[in-house]
Amino acid sequence: MSPAIGLVSYTESEREDGHEQSKYQRGVKHLCESGITRVPSKYVLPAQERPNIKKEISERNMSNGRRNISLPIIDFAELQGSNRSKALKNLSNACEEFGFFQVVNHGISIEIIRHMMDVSRRFFELPFEERSKYMTSDMRSPARYGTSFNQNKDGVFCWRDFLKLICPPSSNALSLWPTSPSNLRQAVVSYSTETRFLFTMLMEAVLECLGLIETSKNNYSDEEEFTLKDFGDGSQLMVINCYPACPEPELTLGMPPHSDYGFLTLLLQDEVEGLQIQNRGKWVTVEPIPHSFVVNVGDHLEIFSNGKYKSVLHRVLVNSTKSRISVASLHSMSFEQVIRPSPKLIDEHNPRRYMDTDFTSFLNYASTCEPKRKNFLESRKLAV
């Protein structure tokens, strides 16, 4: 082969590689709409990182479903009623032992929940040309349609598309949200308002569990009021996830093992199983309870509690027959606010374990590294 022919061949190869990368950047939904029957190599995990789906199904059948986990259930009505002390004890145990729990009787209407799930499904059913209007690699964008976990850094892509929306009052970017489906903005505003209130009430309870406030008093101190206001006025990131049916689910994941960056994440999911948490060294599937919320401790709460409550690794499986939709509402203090361990939870017996952090630190880390597992949190730990 002559050098000239070899050069042409190399250039064509580069062009093909660029075309392939561009195809994957358009998302899994676009890939599936093209009629694929195999998982492209871009999504195939190393053997040791793949889910052992056949083994899990076999073990679950042999143990009558015991490989699924029933998370602790927090009855929000009890938390607001005369049984609050018992509910607080259950909440503290759930945060300390599991890092996950499910909230029932939360007061958010079924109509608002159904409306939110409906517009979420319909957004991903829009033509690619409409969805792609919101595609950007800017992680600070108030409305961002994307794919994988961190498509700017992922070596292997995961089987997931998403729409991320920064919600009021932490953003004035409502006018930049998608206009299709026509009722999406209205649905997200209603849903985000309700979940923000639920988060604030749950954080009030968490603060009481940590001994930082006393709701039994008639009035809060100025410091306690200020802390509660920080959460009520804090940041809220809505992440709408779509996990299309996958022709070879044993080769990939919808989301890799990771923890969430905020204080609490409130997850709404459809009836399709997929969420797994790491419990006692094993991956176990969370059984969805209709119209409930799965709530998990985030990295910021682990830092704020000085390690008393720890964020927990979780991942998402996909399947070959059904698409799955979930809506994660991630809550923290404002994007500008510094997160640090509460001074009241530091003493000579329990020294400070984490350095200060903020949202910018997280974004800078995510833009330079491939965020896996709890790597960001590990980078904020102090040597004790």
- Report pLDDT digits (tens) over 75-90: 999 999 989 999 999 9
* Confidence at residue 162, expressed as pLDDT on a 0 to 100 scale: 97
Neighbours of 335 (CB within 10 A): 17
Name the amino acid, one letter, at 174: L
**How far are the Cα atoms of 58, 214, 281, 343, 372 from residue 62, in angstroms, in the given order?**
6, 47, 20, 49, 32
> Crossing angle of helices 222-232/184-209, nearest 10°?
150
Are the beta carbons of 140 and 341 closer than 8 angstroms? no
Please give the average per-residue pLDDT across 110-138, as a whole number: 95
Greater pLDDT, 5 or 118:
118
Question: What does the pLDDT look like over 216-275, one tens digit per residue?
Answer: 666 677 677 768 888 988 999 999 999 999 999 999 999 999 999 999 999 999 999 999
Structure tokens at 316: 């998402």
Structure tokens at 44: 């195939």
Neighbours of 367 (CB within 10 A): 13
The answer to whether residue 309 scores a pLDDT higher than 60 is yes
Length of the chain: 384
Q: What percent of the chain has pLDDT over 70?
A: 88
Please give the average per-residue pLDDT across 344-369, as a whole number: 88
The answer to whether residue 21 scores a pLDDT higher than 70 is no
The answer to whether residue 204 scores a pLDDT higher than 60 is yes
**How far are the Cα atoms of 327, 333, 376 from residue 361, in angstroms, in the given order?**
25, 14, 9
Please give the average per-residue pLDDT across 152-172, as a whole number: 87
Cα separation, 192 vs 167, whole angstroms = 7
* Confidence at residue 210, expressed as pLDDT on a 0 to 100 scale: 96
Write the DSSP symbol of residue 262. Answer: S
Average pLDDT, the chain: 88
* Confidence at residue 4, expressed as pLDDT on a 0 to 100 scale: 38
Q: Which residue has the tokens 């590294």?
A: 369
For residue 352, the number of C-alpha atoms closer than 13 Å in the C-beta half-sphere is: 11
Q: Which of 302, 299, 272 is nearest to 288 (CA)?
A: 272
Neighbours of 115 (CB within 10 A): 18
Structure tokens at 40: 């492209």
Structure tokens at 135: 């595609």
* Confidence at residue 138, expressed as pLDDT on a 0 to 100 scale: 84
Question: What does the pLDDT look like over 37-93, one tens digit per residue?
Answer: 999 999 999 999 999 876 665 555 555 555 678 899 999 999 999 899 999 999 999
The answer to whether residue 14 scores a pLDDT higher than 60 is no
The answer to whether residue 15 scores a pLDDT higher than 50 is no
**How far are the Cα atoms of 89, 168, 191, 193, 361 from residue 85, in angstroms, in the given order?**
6, 32, 29, 27, 37
Q: What percent of the chain has pLDDT over 90?
A: 67
Are the beta carbons of 105 and 75 closer than 8 angstroms? yes
* Confidence at residue 6, expressed as pLDDT on a 0 to 100 scale: 36
Per mean pLDDT, which range of 91-105, 148-162, 192-206, 284-298 is the poorest?
148-162
Please give the average per-residue pLDDT across 197-206, as a whole number: 96
* Confidence at residue 84, expressed as pLDDT on a 0 to 100 scale: 93
Q: Which of 140, 145, 196 is nearest to 168 (CA)?
A: 196
pTM of the model: 0.90
* Confidence at residue 371, expressed as pLDDT on a 0 to 100 scale: 60
